Structures are given as structure tokens and as C-alpha cells.
Structure 1
């Protein structure tokens, strides 16, 4: 069977299964099996499936995933995240401080947790009612929090960068370092969006936020936990003291201690964090296993290699190839969530990007930004539903969608900046090497 028959058949069968409502991990595995049976008998294919599943669950690098998820859940169920928002809001007595505080809190949260949805939910659950009570516009309030959650995906540690590094087989440490400058730039751009929004639509931002100043003790309790956890992750990885997995383990233990000591985490909160982590990893583990099997079948039939060779015969300029790939991800991101996109499409497309001469670390940052846009675009924009679900009576889904549009514009501008100035992503990894 020709490679394009296999590739087309896999994709068609996968889309049919998804449209029938089959959960994605099972759809990936079910689509892979018929084409696995073309090359192996039934008993041998069972062994292959078992080996692929076992290989995912015992992979040392992948141990970082549940640890970072657990870390984020601990923060979400303690007062660490909410306290960070209150500090960012009350500590800056300027017009729009609650909006700027939301962005700053999301950025700070992103420095210790790599999940966009957890970031939006943790900060949004505190910030959204506060912003609405203070008189901020519904669209600005919803937009800044839905978009702010995406900072957790770009600012290291990032689960998407971690998955990207596993699929593409590039240094996760380099990817994390590469996300720092773009992450800081994006945080600044989001703040600029709020400034411009206030100029164009001044009634969306109250003149002065009537919030009481925080006492020094509360400021220390808000800032120090995030600062310490972030420094432990950053320094241990970038100084070569620990691998990302070891850093995640140390940071998760440290977060647990801090959450109990100063974050008011109690047994019920810890139990909820453990259960939420197990639920998340149950899904992610199945998805990783099925994605690995899917990639194995693709690679065995040489679909990525043949696709790359066929595409290169078109003799397109490298920038045209890159533009088509980015456009593809922007469209696919409207219908699938980022983790699924990573394991379905990257095995086929990253050889193409590499073959036309682009650096895979740099492309990893571009790819991650397109995934940030994916969680903000309907009909499957996860962050849209997270924020709308926090205040379903006050905010309609339409308000959230319109609220994120300027922030999507900022994300598009960041992609353009990275295309024009690749060193934004490559300078720090080169400096560290």
C-alpha cells in the first residue's frame, strides 16, 4: 500500500471516529490498528501495542508531566494563586490595575505551572468577580483572563513545549529557555492591549480601583511562594543542576510544603489536587500512548518522510512552506485542542520544517504560540469556555470571544516578530550552550 493511501486512510478513519464521538485516545488507537495489521499479525500487533503503551508510562522525561500538573493543582487549590492576583492588583495603584494585575498574575502563575486552562481557572476565579464588581467592562474582563491563561503555555515550564520536545526529540531545556524572552514580550504586549483598550473604550476601565492596600505580611505571603518555586525550577534546569524531571519533582515537593505552610492547603484540597492530577494523567497517559502508536504506524509506512519528499518536489520557498504550516495550525486549532494536535500532526510536519532549514527550537516557540491562539478560537477554544463558565449569568460566550480578539492580534504580532527576529527565541539557548 502506498504511503499516501496509509496517510489518507489514517486521517479519514480518525476524523470519522472523532465525529462519531469516540474519545480521542481511543480514536487514535482504533485508527492505527487496521494499518498496523497490514504489517503485523494480530498476536504480534498486541505485543507492539503493549510495548508502546508501556514505553510511554515508564519514560523518564514524561515523569515531569504529572509532577507539573500536580504542582499546578496544588497552587489552584491553595491561596497561592489568588494571593498573587491580589498583590498584583492592589500593589499597583494606577487606572486599570486589576487588568494589569490579572496579566501579571497569569505570567507569574505561568512561571510555575505549564497549563493554560489551570492558569485561566486559578486566576480567573478570583479576578473575574473582582473586576466585574469594580466596574470593568465584561469583554475586557473576560478577554484579559482568557488570554492571560495562555501565558502559562509560553512561559516555562510549559506542557506544550514539553510534549513538543518529546515528539520532535529536541532539548526540553533549550525549549524552556527559548520561551523566556517571547513570554516576557507577550506579557508586555498584553499590557499594551489594555492601555489601548482604555484609550479607545474608556468606560471599560474605571478611573481608580477602590481596593485596599495589602499589609507587608500579605505581600510577602503572596510574592515569596511563586518567586521561590519559580527560581527553583528556573535555576535548577538552566544551571544544569537538575533535569526538567528532577526540577519538577523538587518543585512539586516544595509547592506542597509551601501550600500547607502558608497557602492554607488542607487535606480536602490535597485530596482534590491528587484526584485532579490522576484524572488529567489518565486522559493524557492514554493520549500519549495512542499518539505514540499512531506515530509508530505513520513512521513504519514512511508517511512523514514521503510527505516531506513529495512536498519538497514543489520547490516552494522555505518561507512559503512555513506560512502554509502556520496557517494549517491556525485552522486546525479551531477544531482540536493543543495536546491532540501535537501528537496527531507533528510527527508528519516537523521533518518538513527541518528539511527546509528552520531551527526546530525556534519553530517550537512559533508552534506554541499557534497553540495559544488555538485555545482562544471557537468552536473549541478551551479558555473561552473556562472563563465563560466562571460567570455564566453575567458574561455571554460572545463577550469572551470578542474580548480575546485584540489579544489574538498581539499573538499574531509576536509570531511576526519571531519571523523577523529569530534571535528572540534563539539568543538565550545559544548563550546557555
Structure 2
């Protein structure tokens, strides 16, 4: 049996294990280990596993992960999500649909410090839903805005997904942060415009909330100032070459801890919870990386990525059509995999294809990140939908999906814009570099 045939059988086995709900890290590691044992020898497979595990865990570069994760959990435990929502609500809540817009704005702001879409959806669901219910918002609009707004976290730096993708592809993390900034802001604007249009069409969907005085609005900006200062310090240091990504993570975690202590929001119990959550998340991600690097190494040995790239180039398919096909594959994979699993499984195959088609790696990275986040709110699974369901158990899943539909339309419009005008993604990192 040829190496390519071995690789294809390995892919089938891998998907079988995933469908059986085995952990993605274990599935990738097991299939790759058995593949190396077959292609080379059991001794070579053990040596490969040991080397990859040691190199991953001992890498200074990978230290960026636990540091940014710690920053996210400290900000979460200190109640930053609630504060950011309240700021947005004071400025926008008096308009029709204003509280839903505030939810989207709060999601964008909290994403900048939480680095996680899951944390953003969970936090904003608990904070914003009671307020929208108080003013009799449509359940579909209320839950839809929370689920959709949570996906902004994938693009707003310091996004955890951008960090993971940078480590998987060896792309510059600072450039990925810059590349995600403008699309992330545009996404928030598109979502707010969607809410505005819906509530202009049917005002009953989102009645106006309380109007705050200008003094109350401006006094609330102190919280935003802390977030802006922290993000400016982290991103400015990265872009200016003052910090490596790992050092930027350390600065971010230290800054988050300092702000939380100054505001007297971090108790010993909450700090302990942040540390425990950081350790759990980091352990999960390191396991994913070890499995992914084993799988990548095995796939390279079989020659599958190179064969796929050559086949697509020889078919003379329009490059944008190939990218759209990859985009659709991500939407389908979202039914069975979380975002980290999708990245670990597909990036080693699709990234070389995109490069062979002549696309910039940074641009392609943002496109697939967006595809994976859209998969989180796409029927029939939509993991973000079930996160919202957990904080709104009385709202039917069908109602949440109905509320998401207009936001999905806005998402696809934005993706088409990013495909047709790639400079939206590449301008900032290219200009500042």
C-alpha cells in the first residue's frame, strides 16, 4: 500500500474516532502513531511522539498560550464583561434595539480581554439577557444577538484562536492580531446595522431602554479606558517590537491582574478559580497541539498535502472557488468538531493548498477563522446556540436559530467583502510592518 493510500485510510479512521466522540487530541495522536508504526516502525513512532511532546511542552514560544489564557480568566473573574456591557448599554440602550446593539458592543469589548468566544457568549448571556427581557425584547433577537456577538471574539486581538492558528502555521502572531482587528470591528458594525434595520422594520422587536444622562455616560468610560490601555500596551509592544508574543502575554496577564486588584474585584477564591481554569484550558490545548503536530508530520510523510495542492493547481480551478469550497467544508465540520479541533485537523491540509493557489497566509488565516466561527452559529448544531440555550433554558432552540438568521446573512455579506477586497485584512499588518 502506497503512503498516500495509507494517509487516506488514516483520515477515514480519524473521522470514525471523532464520530465515536473520542477526544480529538487522542484521536489524532493515536492515528498518527499507528501510521508511523506502519510506514516506518513502532520504534520510530515512539521516538516521534516523544520528540514532539517534549518540543511542544518545552517551547518558549508556546508560553504565549497560558499567559493570554490567564489574562482572559482574570478579567472574567473580575467582572469585566458586566462592566463593558453596562457601558455599551448606557450609550446605546435608549435606541430601538439599543440593548441588543450594546450586547454586540459588549461582546466586542469583552473579546478584546477574554480571548475566547465561548467565554464571551457565556458572560454576555448572563449579563445582557435579563436586561433585554426587562424591556420585553423579542426572545429571538435577544438570544440571536448574544450567540452571534460572541463569535466576534475570534477576530478581536488577543484572540485565542489567532494565537493557536499562528502556532500551528508559524505565522506572525502580531500580524495575525493586526489582520483580525479591522474585520472584527466591521463584523460588530455589520451586526449593529442588522439590529438597526430589524428594529426599524419592526419596532416591537427591541423597544427603547432607559436614557442615561451625558454625565453618566462619560463617567462609565473609565472601564473602557482600562481595556483600551491594556490592549494598547500589549498590541503596541508587539507591533513596535518591544515584546515577543510570549512577553506580551506576560504583560497582559500582569496588567489584567493589576487592574483587577486596583478595582478590588479579585478575591482569593476568584484568583484560585482563574488559575485552575487556566491550567485546565492550557492542558487541553497542549494535548491538541501534540496530537496535531503528530498528525501534521504523518500527513507530510504520506505526501497528501502536496498531492492535494498539485491536484487543485492542475485542475485549473478558479482560486476563489477553491477557497469557497474550503469555507463550506468548515461549515460542515462545525457540526461535529469544535474550533480548536477543526484547526488542528484541517490547517495542515488546507494551508499549503491556499499557498499553492497564491493566497497570502495571513489573509487565508482570517478567512478560515471566520468560517469556523460562523460554523458555531450555523444549523443544525451551532455550538454557540447551545451555550445560549444553557443561560436561557426557557427559549426553544428553534427560536434562537431564527434569531441568528439575520446575523448569518450579515456574516456572509462580510465574508464576500473580505474575499473580494483582501486588502481589508492585509492592509494593516503590511503597512505597520
Q: Corresponding residue for 1:254?
A: 255
Tell whether 2:196 aligns with 1:195: yes
Deviation (angstroms), 1:153: 0.5
| 8 A Cα contact 2:37 2:43, kept in partner | no
Distance 1:271 1:248 in 2: 19
| 8 A Cα contact 2:75 2:113, kept in partner | no
Distance 2:399 2:250 in 1: 39
User: What do residues 158-202 of structure 1 show as CA deviations (whole Å, max 9, x unaligned)?
Assistant: 122222222222222111111111111111101001001102332
Q: Corresponding residue for 1:400?
A: 400
Structure 1, 98-107 or 225-234: larger mean CA deviation: 225-234
| 8 A Cα contact 2:115 2:154, kept in partner | yes
When normalised by structure 2's length, the TM-score is 0.95
Distance 2:113 2:239 in 1: 15
| 8 A Cα contact 2:135 2:208, kept in partner | no
Change (3 A) 1:157 1:400: same
| 8 A Cα contact 1:186 1:411, kept in partner | yes
Q: Corresponding residue for 1:425?
A: 425
Distance 1:212 1:402 in 2: 35
Deviation (angstroms), 1:36: 0.9
Aligned ranges 1:79-94 → 2 under 5 Å: 79-92=79-92, 93-94=94-95
User: What do residues 303-350 of structure 1 show as CA deviations (whole Å, max 9, x unaligned)?
Assistant: 111221123222222222222222222222232111111111110111
Distance 1:3 1:147 in 2: 42
Q: Corresponding residue for 2:36?
A: 36
Task: Please give the secondary structure, in 1, of the residue aligned with 2:78.
Answer: coil
Distance 1:7 1:303 in 2: 7
Q: Corresponding residue for 1:159?
A: 160
Tell whether 2:148 aligns with 1:120: no
Tell whether 2:20 aligns with 1:10: no
| 8 A Cα contact 1:87 1:214, kept in partner | no
Q: Corresponding residue for 1:52?
A: 52
Q: Corresponding residue for 1:178?
A: 179
C-alpha RMSD of the superposition = 1.9
Q: Corresponding residue for 1:368?
A: 369
Aligned residues: 432
Distance 1:253 1:51 in 2: 32
Distance 1:340 1:149 in 2: 19
Q: Corresponding residue for 1:413?
A: 413
Q: Corresponding residue for 2:339?
A: 338
Task: Please give the secondary structure, in 2, of the residue aligned with 1:327.
Answer: helix
Structure 1 gap segments, 5+ residues each: none
Deviation (angstroms), 1:212: 8.5
| 8 A Cα contact 1:155 1:183, kept in partner | yes
| 8 A Cα contact 1:134 1:209, kept in partner | no
Q: Corresponding residue for 2:308?
A: 307
Distance 1:230 1:333 in 2: 30
| 8 A Cα contact 1:13 1:31, kept in partner | yes
Q: Corresponding residue for 1:145?
A: 146
- Runs (4+) off by over 3 Å: 207-218
Distance 1:21 1:164 in 2: 23
Q: Corresponding residue for 1:224?
A: 225
Tell whether 2:279 aligns with 1:278: yes
| 8 A Cα contact 1:335 1:379, kept in partner | no
User: What do residues 202-231 of structure 1 show as CA deviations (whole Å, max 9, x unaligned)?
Assistant: 211113436798847962542232122221
Structure 1, 266-275 or 321-330: larger mean CA deviation: 321-330
Structure 2 gap segments, 5+ residues each: none
Distance 1:35 1:284 in 2: 23
When normalised by structure 1's length, the TM-score is 0.95
Deviation (angstroms), 1:91: 2.9
Q: Corresponding residue for 1:75?
A: 75
